[in-house]
Structure 1
Amino acid sequence: MFTKIIKFKQNNFSFYVIYLYKNQPELIYNAIKKKMQHSPVFFKKISVIVNIYYIKNEINWEKVYNAIISTGINIIGVSGCNNKNTIKIINNTGIPVLFTNNKDNKKIQNIDINEKKINNNIIPKSIIKTIKEKGSLSLKKDVFYNKSKIIYNPIRSGQQIYAYNSDLIVINNVSTGAELIADGNIHIYGFMRGKALSGANGDKNCQIFCNQLFAELLSIAGEYLLQDQIPKKFLGKSSRIYLKNKTVTIKSCN
């Protein structure tokens, strides 16, 4: 009788990426610790990918690695590395080096881009249509999403739902510890107590709509708002969450 031992299956996960712009371990450590002071619960034992694309000179990976993990952050991979010697050093530390699509990398590397306006790890080639002279991304036409993904059952703690290239609609309650991720908008027609991450592919025009807002975390295109940052007047209320001047903003739907 055949007994199944392992199974390979493709899954989708959402990880935060730390982009390094400086090569000094002490500056990196201090910058992370300063960020942690604003949201200590959010950063507790968080796992990240470190992107070193913007480090032009050779990086002292061992010192940078120690600086990051000494803050309590776990590193699960390194991306944006094109130096063969650096790749070898990183691999020797047991950290995997992650590669994006080579064709997309060439497109981005040959253009003088504005670092603050482009994130080549979260913007897929499907929406990289044209690049203006100043270096910011622009679209030739609107991004079209697939048919919305609709969930009728309650989302329990520990569950993660991902709507690839589409909106996500939940016609039920979302428990604490659950996670909703969508490349498009997110609609919750019930109690929302978990995490909601809209615009996962970098679309800053996406929004989140909650019938009764008690969320642990609200995020749009990488910008986020934690539960203790949500004004009390919106708790339990029907709310719309969107980006305004790169800040996650909440507005009542009533």
Structure 2
Amino acid sequence: MFTKIIKFKQNNFSFYVIYLYNNQPELIYNAIKKKIKHSPLFFKKMSVIVNIFYIKNEINWEKVYNAIISTGINIIGVSGCNNKNIIKIINNTGTPILFDNYKDDKKIQNIDINEKKVNNNKNNIVSKSIIKIIKEKGSLLLNKDIYYNKSKIIYNPIRSGQQVYAYNSDLIIINNVSTGAELIADGNIHIYGFMRGKALSGANGDRNCQIFCSQLFAELLSIAGEYLLQDQIPLKFLGKSSRIYLKNKILKIKLCN
């Protein structure tokens, strides 16, 4: 009797990408820790790809690697390598080298630990960076003035293991969100379906953001770093249309009429 041992199958996985703009391990470490501080549960045991395309000088990959993993983030590969010497060094450490299309890198969801500028166009509201350039001391300052792009709308169901990030905008899901799925947005989050995963709103520190669920069964709710776990959500709100907001640094839930 034949017993199947293994099977190769192509699957689609969503991974976040950390784009490095500085080759100093200490600055990179401090910048990531500042980012994690805002949403610690979202970044917990996160697996990422490190893109070094914007590093023009030599990089001590071993020190950079150790700086990143010491924050609790796992590295599954490196992209953006166009220097043969750097590729050889990274290969020697056993870290996989990934190749992508840099002309199309705007489509990659990423965690930007440096300043990100959004170009103005007819369809976008003028957007200012929410994070200043990392200064010499490695400090990260939040911009007091926050402007959002138009909302990011997704019509497909969000399945377990998927992560969706709406940079500098609201996130609207016109479908169900499964257990194990994660939603994160710098703005508000709207879920028009069953919400069973994690929702993290106000990722840039904006405490005025809110979460709206048509049927609330969330594993975790978070706004600007404050959060509620599933067992902390009162039973009267489960399965109901609800609004989640911050008041005096405490998450509140209110039924939507």
Query: TM-score of the superposition, structure 1-length normalised?
Result: 0.55
Could you give the per-residue CA deviations for residues 27-49 of structure 1, whole angstroms, max 9, x where no partner exists? 11111222223333332222111
Pick from 114, 119, 127 the counterpart of residue 136 of structure 1.
Answer: 119
Unaligned runs of 5+ in 1: 106-118, 124-133, 198-207, 242-250
SS in 2 for 1:189: strand
Name the residue aligned to 2:65: 65
Per-residue deviation, 1:18: 1.4
Residue type at the aligned position of 2:75: I
Distance 2:218 2:17 in 1: 22
Per-residue deviation, 1:168: 5.7
Name the residue aligned to 2:108: 121
Distance 2:39 2:30 in 1: 15
Name the residue aligned to 1:189: 193
**Is it true that 1:179 corresponds to 2:162 in the alignment?**
no
From the superposition, tell whether residues 211 and 98 of structure 1 become closer, same or farther in structure 2 (CA, over 3 Å).
Answer: same
Name the residue aligned to 1:77: 77
Residue type at the aligned position of 2:227: D
Name the residue aligned to 1:12: 12
Alignment root-mean-square deviation, CA = 4.6
SS in 2 for 1:169: coil
Could you give the per-residue CA deviations for residues 69-106 of structure 1, whole angstroms, max 9, x where no partner exists? 1222211111122112111111111111111136647x
From the superposition, tell whether residues 39 and 196 of structure 1 become closer, same or farther in structure 2 (CA, over 3 Å).
Answer: closer
Distance 1:13 1:195 in 2: 18
Percent same amino acid among aligned pairs? 66
Could you give the per-residue CA deviations for residues 202-228 of structure 1, whole angstroms, max 9, x where no partner exists? xxxxxx962134545689xxxx86661
Aligned length: 193
From the superposition, tell whether residues 137 and 195 of structure 1 become closer, same or farther in structure 2 (CA, over 3 Å).
Answer: farther
Per-residue deviation, 1:24: 0.6
SS in 1 for 2:17: strand
Q: Contact 2:40–2:225 (CA<8 Å) still a contact in 1?
A: no
Distance 1:149 1:44 in 2: 26
SS in 2 for 1:75: strand
**Is it true that 1:228 corresponds to 2:215 in the alignment?**
no
